[in-house]
Structure 1
């Protein structure tokens, strides 16, 4: 585990000061950014543009494949640029040096302690892993039955399905798992090797693998965050499937509904027996503000609710945060609601430990994933539970989920 460094030390290391008294300016445009991890460089894109009306402010997007993920407003202090991602308690802080940004990415882990990685970005460089456009040795487009942590070098169990699309030497896709997906992965195929990465402020993913065309196998390593590592193997399999997400979490025998009563950040207690939920179809979202897959689902649910609430539907968010203290977690819930313009109530239901979350919801056999989505009919009875969420980075699997979601809501409203 990487040693945690006190915040005061980080400030001194990552916020150098200029002597001129004049703030530096950032060259607008796209940058090839890298985090220097134990697995090597983890590349991603940044698009940095001046914000209207403020010479020290910038609008920044992280670029991963087709995703343009908006960061919080960035600011310049002396000769350094700060790009915050408050929802995930992380930020990029870098000294501005012409076409180059150099500094650190850091994320709060506990109290006044941070995890950090070196960060660098170069203006006008648009490639991911390689500028070489030479054709690779094979095409990896399709589905791959995947096993993480394999000690045999074989796919003995399928705990993920890789879904890739390759065009030339560019590769994009993700891994589907029973509890969610690995969001937008982008990279290259170089010779017989695969390289994929993702950075979204919380997730730091780096995949490398060697492709054996004879056996149709991928064998490689997966680095996550500051210190995470797993080996992985995958077998090309157009029929690869995951367990049914409707069978992982279910009501205990004898239970028909959820008995929940938790506080919002404003102190108001919300229960499914409240008048706003009576005779309405209700979607209960088990989530956390720290969870990017949950944010993908929220990015779908929030505008969906605005369009459909007049039909007699409600949504209730049950947030399981890192701290049970409302003074700590309440502001995070409020920031999440503001970022995604959430109109439905989001309550603090407990901590993000799955065992503790399961205790907070005793009508369920277990909470096995964040997010988990529960559908309740007009009579207050649970009709369907979906574990995990296939986000927009999964392409057709996201479209399929949205279609199934809407069909189920239509069915429950028609009853």
Structure 2
């Protein structure tokens, strides 16, 4: 009888393994396409790997590999839940191809985009791009928008053969890891990080001019842009964009942590400490880059007398929903410092209301540096993440020197 039970269990295990294998995605690099409302395709690549008895996905953008572990197959259905940004894929596995929707969950609605993916496809825009004599490597002054909505940014690209990587730097951060190609007289760049899908196209008139630029963001976002090569292009000082109102020297707030307990800067843990306050949101990709850095920064400086606290401004004022999103950040990055639910939305005017001593909040993230006396010493707008190369390194060097100087003060 025992032998029969063992034999039956072995057969069941074998059948289960066989079924899992049938439902599994083909391992290796895939090419995915997200379709915008204007029928433009935003391509990206991802790598399917086997991790024990389950599969994982790595979304590829230039040198970044964004790990996704919540991958479930059931029959011909595949569900992929992003670890950040409250988004997911609901797909059908028809033969080899995947088809279905990428769904972004907002505060009051869901925004779906059509999605298809093909295995064993490592190219992004073209299998065989058309050769071009142009090379876009270098620094560019790029203008997005028209009229009063014009915004000057800095593009930085590296071209090897026809492959292009790089990013755009803005006053509120960067567009992270962009990847694409120059094909003929055209430039193509894209990025997908689980919450944001970007497509940039432009005509390469010569080595110094990019014209007729189009920028597509998500389902409906659309803008125009142009660029001129300018090795001296730069943005305004990130420490000059936000300040305290006249008469104020200190920051003051009381918000709830993830357990619902109120936390204030007047609490004992913050007394006589250098304090870093992150104005952030779980929906913000640059905030994720900053949080990844802040975790390591905190481990390095906490014993020397530094505290960090994150103020989360979410898409909703509902505490439970906001907590769920912020908890994903905490778990993803193993955040050791408190993350607080402010109860205010990510609307910049709402954010400014919650901290009335600030003149304004220009963008997310905004980082406030407070000395051991409790006085605000500097306010930094935006964050240049690892996708910006040397700018990321320069920020870390400058930021940590500032911390060292503040710690030396009596």
Length-normalised TM-score, structure 1: 0.90
Find the aligned partners of 1:312 and 1:27 in 2 and give their Cα distance: 50
Question: Is the CA contact 1:260–1:272 (under 8 Å) kept in the aligned structure 2?
Answer: yes
**Which of these residues, 168, 184, 190, is aligned with residue 183 of structure 2?**
190
1:80 aligns with 2:74: no
1:122 aligns with 2:118: yes
Find the aligned partners of 1:348 and 1:355 in 2 and give their Cα distance: 17
Quote how far apart the aligned CAs of 1:378 are: 0.8
Alignment length, in residue pairs?
A: 389
Quote the residue 1:167 is aligned against.
160
SS of residue paired to 1:88: coil
Quote the residue 2:86 is aligned against.
89
Quote the residue 2:256 is aligned against.
263
Quote the residue 1:51 is aligned against.
51
CA deviation map 1:347-405 (0-9, x unaligned) = 11221110010010011101111100111111111111110000111111111111111
Change (3 A) 1:197 1:215: closer
Quote the residue 1:402 is aligned against.
396
Quote how far apart the aligned CAs of 1:336 are: 1.4
Quote the residue 2:387 is aligned against.
393
CA deviation map 1:302-344 (0-9, x unaligned) = 1221232111110010111111121221121222111110110
**Structure 1 runs (4+) greater than 4 angstroms displaced:** 20-23
**Which of these residues, 277, 291, 295, is aligned with residue 298 of structure 1?**
291
SS of residue paired to 2:249: coil
Quote the residue 2:14 is aligned against.
none
SS of residue paired to 2:34: strand
CA deviation map 1:89-119 (0-9, x unaligned) = 21122222343222211111245x4211111
1:356 aligns with 2:356: no
Question: Is the CA contact 1:138–1:213 (under 8 Å) kept in the aligned structure 2?
Answer: yes
Question: Is the CA contact 1:164–1:172 (under 8 Å) kept in the aligned structure 2?
Answer: yes
SS of residue paired to 1:189: strand
SS of residue paired to 2:387: helix
Find the aligned partners of 2:24 and 2:60 in 1 and give their Cα distance: 21
Greater Cα offset, 122-131 or 101-110: 101-110
Quote how far apart the aligned CAs of 1:229 are: 0.4
Say what the alpha-carbon RMSD is for the aligned residues. 1.9
Greater Cα offset, 38-47 or 313-322: 38-47
SS of residue paired to 1:266: coil
Find the aligned partners of 2:39 and 2:145 in 1 and give their Cα distance: 16
Quote the residue 2:220 is aligned against.
227
Question: Is the CA contact 1:158–1:242 (under 8 Å) kept in the aligned structure 2?
Answer: no
Quote how far apart the aligned CAs of 1:21 are: 8.1
**Which of these residues, 46, 57, 61, is aligned with residue 60 of structure 1?**
57
Change (3 A) 1:27 1:383: same
Change (3 A) 1:214 1:199: closer
**Which of these residues, 303, 307, 310, is aligned with residue 317 of structure 1?**
310
Greater Cα offset, 160-169 or 92-101: 92-101
SS of residue paired to 1:127: coil
SS of residue paired to 1:140: coil
Greater Cα offset, 65-74 or 312-321: 65-74
Quote how far apart the aligned CAs of 1:168 are: 0.6
CA deviation map 1:28-78 (0-9, x unaligned) = 1111111122252211111111232x3xx3211110111101124211111
Quote the residue 2:6 is aligned against.
none
Quote how far apart the aligned CAs of 1:215 are: 6.0
Greater Cα offset, 20-29 or 321-330: 20-29
Length-normalised TM-score, structure 2: 0.91
What is the correspondence of 1:127-146 to structure 2 with a 5 Å cutoff?
127-132=123-128, 134-146=130-142
Question: Is the CA contact 2:86–2:325 (under 8 Å) kept in the aligned structure 1?
Answer: no
Quote the residue 1:149 is aligned against.
145
Structure 1 gaps, min length 5 = 1-19
CA deviation map 1:179-235 (0-9, x unaligned) = 111111100000110000001111110011001118623331000010010011111
Q: Which has the larger radius of gyration?
A: 2
Find the aligned partners of 1:369 and 1:261 in 2 and give their Cα distance: 21
Find the aligned partners of 1:217 and 1:51 in 2 and give their Cα distance: 43
Quote how far apart the aligned CAs of 1:163 are: 0.6
Structure 2 gaps, min length 5 = 1-17
Find the aligned partners of 1:327 and 1:124 in 2 and give their Cα distance: 41
